[in-house]
Amino acid sequence: MTILVTGGAGFIGSNFIHEWLAHGDEPVINLDKLTYAGNLDNLRDIEDTPSYIFAHGDIADYSQVSAWLANFDVRAIVHFAAESHVDRSIDGPLSFVETNVVGTTHLLQAALEHWRKHHNFRFLHVSTDEVFGSLEPDDPAFVESSPYRPNSPYAASKAASDHLVRAYGETYGLPVLTTHCSNNYGPYHFPEKLIPLLIHNATTGKDLPLYGDGQQVRDWLYVADHCRALRMVLANGRPGETYNIGGNAERKNIDVARTVCAMLDDYLPLLDGRSYSDQIVLVRDRPGHDRRYAINASKLRTELGWKPLETFESGIAKTVQWYIEHREWTAAVTGGSYRDWVARQYT
């Protein structure tokens, strides 16, 4: 038996594959289109492992996906593949609809035909807390039954994919599981997202741009904790159910930036004695910017016994250290098209 991971060359998918192979020898196929966010360097250390197979392709390619599912006797799909950056969805929403909505539907259809022949099968859909919209400062954290109120094209496309996953479960009986996770951080995080962008910009002498007033709140989770939660949901989650995953670590963006800067001040002090925090600047806000996310993960804790192993402080220390020790990784992903994106987004 084998599992098929979609989007395994991205940030969370590659961490998940590392985590999967570290905990057993069940083969894993990584189906990835290798968009700008997909990077096989994330998997360089395991690429020769016999239980790892890379399949270059698109989740929307129904016949190719069907062939992989049948040929490798796949017992589960863990579906990460997506366009995942909110700012890019504001810049150009169509690719988000194509991959996140249409691509997911093709994948579901291939999974359905496969499941009808091989009954022992599960489809784990990796979704986000952003489908629930934005919280006021005193609102309780999102629970699994919180209403859908997506605000960005990215969140709307993920919400649409969630509804299709649910519909395939309800209508056809496909054994589906959906997770809603809060903001991840850790190794292999593409430096268009806040934390790796801050580290990259700080260490290359650039501004640290915070949108609006920098007071927006995210609930941060170290990526390995997310991956462990997904393994638990895949193994023991109840088909048809949804599970929230979160770090119980709400932080304002300005405080995240100050924490990253303080760590860099320790690990990599500037020669002139300044703090990296002098590089923080407030810039034009993200349109429709969600003010606050917070996740109540008590269902996952009660039903499956999961809780995060890292605090924000321990996870961010590991992350900053990883980026300092892997500067060649960041250098390789911040070339031409990355620079074009940064110029368009921040000018």
Rounded to the nearest angstrom, the gap between the alpha carbon of residue 26 and the centroid of all alpha carbons in its chain is 23
3-state secondary structure of 215: coil
> Is 52:266 a contact under the CB 8 Å cutoff?
no
> Which entry of ligand NAD, ligand DAU, none binds 187, CB below 5 to 8 A by partner kind?
none
Q: Tell whether residue 9 is a contact of ligand NAD (CB under 6 A).
A: yes
Q: Tell whether residue 184 is a contact of ligand NAD (CB under 6 A).
A: yes
Cα diameter, the chain? 66
150-189 residues in contact with ligand DAU (CB under 6 A) are: 182-183
290-309 residues in contact with ligand DAU (CB under 6 A) are: 293
Q: CA–CA separation, 95 vs 90, rounded Å?
A: 11
Site string for ligand NAD, 111-150 (x = CB under 6 A): ---------------x-x----------------------
> Is 246:223 a contact under the CB 8 Å cutoff?
no
Among 218, 226, 251, 292, binds ligand DAU (CB under 6 A): 218
Task: Find the part of the chain contacting ligand NAD (CB under 6 A) among 66-74, 81-89, 139-147, 298-306.
Answer: 81-89
Helix axes 11-22, 223-236, angle to 10 degrees: 60
> Is 83:36 a contact under the CB 8 Å cutoff?
no
Over its C-alpha atoms, the chain yields an Rg (Å, rounded) of 20
Among 3, 4, 7, 76, binds ligand NAD (CB under 6 A): 7
83-112 residues in contact with ligand DAU (CB under 6 A) are: 84-86
Task: Find the part of the chain contacting ligand NAD (CB under 6 A) among 182-190, 255-263, 272-280, 313-321.
Answer: 182-190
Q: Please classify residue 243 by burial: count the beta carbons closer than 10 Å to its beta carbon, then call 0-12 exposed, 13-18 middle and 19+ buried.
A: buried
- Active-site amino acid positions: 129-130, 154
Give the residues lining the site for ligand DAU (CB under 6 A): 84-86, 128-130, 182-183, 193-194, 197, 209-211, 216, 218, 253, 286, 293
